[in-house]
Amino acid sequence: MDSMTIIAVASIITAGITIAIGVVGPSLGEGRAVATALTSLAQQPDASATITRTLFVGLAMIESTAIYCFVVSMILIFANPFWNHVIAQTAGK
């Protein structure tokens, strides 16, 4: 196996692991946030506007973690800086 293939395989595997692990935490956090918000809405229906607004802000912040993991995996697959290094070394030979 040449070095370009090794870097490609390592990038794809690392991108998959990044997505797999990086999505578990936010999904559990979002589920817990929604469950707590629904409990709060059931107990205090008069505060529904405040609870809903706070819920959406919290969900957006939780979801940003999953989006960052997605961006990192896309960088690993499509814009990996190690590929440029290997191509430069191969061209120099």
Higher pLDDT, 85 or 28: 28
pLDDT digits (tens, 9 = 90+) for 8-38: 888 899 999 999 999 999 999 999 999 999 9
Using CA atoms, how far apart are residues 31 and 25, in angstroms rounded to an integer? 10
Q: Homologous superfamily of 3-87 in CATH?
A: F1F0 ATP synthase subunit C (1.20.20.10)
Check if the beta carbon of residue 36 is closer than 8 Å to that of residue 54.
Answer: no
Confidence at 43, pLDDT banded by 50, 70, 90: very high
Using CA atoms, how far apart are residues 20 and 51, in angstroms rounded to an integer? 30
Q: What single-letter amino acid sits at 21?
A: I
Round the CA-based radius of gyration of the chain to a whole number and report it.
Answer: 21
Q: What is the pTM of this model?
A: 0.73
